[in-house]
Amino acid sequence: MATGLRERKRQQTRERLTRAAMALFLERGFEATTLDDIAAAADISRRSFFHYFASKEDVVFAWHEESTADLIAAVAARPATESMLTAAENAIAAVARQFDADEAMAIARLKHDNPALQARDQVKYEKFERALADALVKRAGRKSERLQARLVAMIATGAMRIGGESWAAEGAREKPDAMAKRVFAAIRAILE
């Protein structure tokens, strides 16, 4: 669907703001970067910053919001013949293939070094788990499978969290989608 000029300009400003903030966070550190610094680097006013984000923490997690939307769409697109767990695995791997490894690693370092971002990260996973469970129920077309969908969403969310932490701790040596497949293989080995 075509978007209007106003919406495209808004999206471009949001992307410019996100890029500027992330560059400053990586250069100076999250705590040392002020909202004024971010606004100046993005060539907007401090007041305008709040038209796009409620806080500088929101800038860090904007990337995750887009990834969540992509993942929910990928789950919905999986063939009906796949089990919920396989659909979640394949959707996660497909979205992980699109990740920019350097950007993902930079965000992982930022979160690792900041307790406030770590806490916010846990909230992000809780929201993601609920959204994934809803997408799996919708995909199944039967509300009676809600418990199964919630359990699969819990497992898949844990796989993403542990996989992401392991991937970052190992220095991002493998592609994110390969790590996702490895984590799901470990889950299947445990369940057998």
Q: pLDDT tens across 145-161, in order?
A: 999 999 999 999 999 99
Contact 89, 180 (CB under 8 A): yes
Residues 126 and 182 in one domain: yes
pLDDT at 2: 57
Residues 63 and 136 in one domain: yes
The residue whose two tokens read 């497909």 is: 94
Contact 62, 41 (CB under 8 A): no
Contact 24, 6 (CB under 8 A): no
Residues 60 and 49 in one domain: no
Q: How many CA atoms lie within 13 A of 159 on its CB side?
A: 30
Residues 48 and 71 in one domain: no
Q: How many CA atoms lie within 13 A of 151 on its CB side?
A: 9
> 153 is in which domain, residue-wise?
56-191
Tally of domains within the chain: 2
Read off the pLDDT of residues 92-149 as tens digits, 9 standing for 90 and up. 999 989 888 888 888 888 888 888 888 888 888 898 999 999 999 999 888 889 999 9
The residue whose two tokens read 């307790």 is: 115
Residues 20 and 97 in one domain: no
* DSSP code, position 1: -
CATH number, domain with residue 26: 1.10.10.60
Residues 115 and 184 in one domain: yes
pLDDT at 122: 85
Residues 139 and 105 in one domain: yes
